[in-house]
Chains A and B, each alone.
Chain A
Amino acid sequence: MRRAVLLTALAVALTACAPSVPGSSGSSGSPGAQAPASADRLTIGTTADVVNYNPLVGNSRTDSWVTDLMYPKLTQMDATGKRIPYLATEWSYSEDGKTATAKLRDDMKWSDGKPVTASDVVFSVTAVQKEKFGVVAGLITALDEAEAVSPTEVRFKLSRPDGTFLDNVGFWLPVVPEDVFSKAPSVQKFANDKDWVSAGPFKLTKVERGQRYIMDRVDDFGPGKPTVKQVVFRVFPDVNTEVLALRNGEIDMIGNVLPPATATELKSDTAVKLQEIPSLGWAHLQYNTKRKPLDDVRVRQALAHAVDYEAIRNIALKGFAKSSNSSVLTPSLPQWTDQASKEYAFDPEQSKKLLAEAGQTNLRLGMIYDQADPNIARWAPMVRDAAKKAGITIELQGLERNTYLDKTTKRDFDIYAGSWAVMDNPPANLGLAFKSGGFINYAQVEDPKLDDLIDQAQRALTQEEAKPPIQEAARMIHDQVYDNVLYVETFNVAHSAKWTGFQPMPSELLSILNPLSLAAAKPAG
């Protein structure tokens, strides 16, 4: 009896000693207990640490998720990819298209108490322009000079009319505090890894590398006080363990996109809610137009007819993918799509005919892809097997990520299988991807007529004006098979049924953990 008492005492003592785990919701009570969520803490699973706290440089998903909550942008995106106000309340171009203006809201404050002003925006964009780094630098080539007209108005002077400028700057440029970042000799090299001064809905308060990132609510956040007191990012080794943690109630949301098979399985779990998020990018095959015989459009068309698109979408992606009708104007951006575009039919006979016309027999090609990308690794063999029916031998080269990136930058491949993550503005993105010498022009397209069309679209100041030339360009890309679009993925993001109010936005960068969505999230019921 005495021993039993002792044991009980010991057990109690041990429990008391056990370190409490901040970041596991429902810290009292066993994991999995279905207690209603409190608005105290929302825990998000991720599979990587934050590598870069400088939002102007950072590019991994976890980097963006965390820094997006800290640093505002001029605009956000709605579910169809249209820009909506965030730091900027309105924006416009001058008549000649050479001046762009953005008006800012006046109620945003940095965490050191100073207001977010036009000069912070000017500082951020000028730093990127001067030092030329990150995604933004390639998108603001038209910028001459930015100036703060008043604390709430920024004017951008452009060297040429560029209708993509405001969309690009608004969506891609994080605004950083001038006072802090200007002290660094080089903004690009500024690590920004402590004493953060931020202005988003949450501020980073504690970092335990490899474990968790704790972010606290900013009570006087301009667009509205967030409901959740604390957002915690917890680091897990992979999606499988994240799913287990979500089911056990240890976390409230998985930041990473679920693999299609896992999503199918989680559909039947009532404790978990799935949100479908359209991708802003697409998965595709690109044929190296500078290599023989891929310089022959008939060979590229033959390859396009030798892919079983339906099977890839239905089996490899379990139906979580939409057809883009072989067009680079995807259904995720409905205001741009071209209804007339038709998907290449899977027709091995047609392929054989085209190959015979081009004088090709026993065509052998290598196909590179990132072995670590689960979706592509699943459909790459399907591409090979379908091509076999048309008498084309495709040799799979599933590479380790860095080797793959290296081969891509050197354009050292016959066929490239991959996907683009965020293509949010067709005139700007098609320029990068298909104009001669474009930064991501993997297929090495050099077509003066296409260049003209894209230039024309970029110069247009309204979407209506840009649409005809860009649709024409997309038709050329389709007919010439400069890009073979396989599908637009529908991402599945899972969160606990105990939470509601998320505002899903397209792309896995934004999904349901974009700043406005997390600020609006609240416990269900």
Chain B
Amino acid sequence: MTAAAVELTPRRRTWSSFRRNPLGVASGLLLLLLALVAICAPLIAPFPEGYGADTSQPPSSAHWFGTDDIGQDVFAQVVWGTRVSMAVGVSASVLAIVIGLLIGVCAAYFRRLDTPLGVLVDLSLSLPVLPLMILVAALAGPSVRTLAVVIALFSWPEVARVVRSQALAIVPMPFVSAAKVVGGSSLWIVRKHLLPGVVPVVGVSVVLTTSRAVLSEAGLSFLGLGDPNSWSWGTILHKAQQSGALASAWWTTLFPSLAILLLVLSTTLLSVAYNDARNHRSDT
């Protein structure tokens, strides 16, 4: 039990039980597909700009997802939107994980920091996140970078809390005390024992934080705080709402919403599948 997480055999066992979960595998594949679409966007569709003569056309063979009120192809918008939405999601989540990991591990290992950091985390968790995000995004001016930073700034506390509780269980372990006795520096112990111990929770956290970040991005962009120079799923929804065509041109809202739904659903299913596989509930 002691070093279960770092040994190779349990990892393999996790993998094999994950493979047996069709929902998990399908979600993983879907995420891969979305990532592929994001990376290969220029190969799939031209960047949506300018205007076209076919305005507000329903889906057809020429325009798979129809066109919007200035004649741009909604399919191209969704494809390029995948890029920005996922980029913002992933970078915000990476940023949040780094901050959260740092604070969580510090709080668990350095006992004196636990209380102040705990207060900080509790405080951040109790903040009204959405209004604050709107405020910061509005003041900083809309750009992809601002969005990523703003979302990260408000998503790390969850990560910190999860990491801290996991690390708290590792700190009193005999091997950590042993490492201290042989004179290992704090940094070395954190790196060699604490970090590997919390990596599995972080893995789940990355996926969930990404999906939350994508949702936040869509929300902020829908409110008009997105980057006007690029496309994201939220931006498409925002433009559809602004054009006043919400009721008539259903295709302008359905497809970006579907993309958001697919991403959030598959990340949730993936993390559930991963968690189940790691805890080996099916084995017992």
Contacts and interface: CB of A to CB of B under 8 A. Distances in A.
Interface of A: 239-240, 243-244, 258-262, 265, 311, 315-316, 318, 371-372, 374, 377-378, 380-382, 384-385, 395-400, 402-403
B104 to A, nearest CB: 34
Contacts of B56: 261
A54 to B, nearest CB: 29
B145 to A, nearest CB: 14
A239 B224 contact: no
Interface of B: 49-51, 55-56, 69-71, 138-139, 141-142, 224-225, 228-229, 239, 241-249
Nearest to A373: B242
Ranked 3 nearest A-B pairs via Cβ:
A259-B244, A262-B244, A398-B228
A399 B225 CA distance: 8
A382 B242 CA distance: 16
A244 B247 CA distance: 9
Contacts of B246: 240
A374 B244 contact: yes
Contacts of A243: 244, 247
Nearest to A377: B242
B70 A396 contact: no
B49 A259 contact: no
B69 A378 contact: yes
Contacts, number: 79
A265 B229 CA distance: 29
B244 A403 contact: no
Interface class of chain B by DSSP: loop
Given A315-B51, A381-B228, A385-B49, A399 B142 contact: yes
28 contacts: A240-B246, A240-B247, A243-B244, A243-B247, A258-B244, A259-B242, A259-B243, A259-B244, A260-B69, A261-B56, A311-B51, A316-B51, A371-B142, A371-B225, A377-B224, A377-B239, A378-B243, A380-B228, A381-B228, A384-B229, A385-B49, A385-B51, A395-B229, A399-B142, A400-B138, A400-B224, A403-B138, A403-B139
Contacts of A400: 138, 224-225
Contacts of B225: 371, 400
Contacts of A382: 50-51, 70
B50 A262 contact: no
B50 A397 contact: no
B106 to A, nearest CB: 36
B146 to A, nearest CB: 12
B138 to A, nearest CB: 4
B229 A396 contact: yes
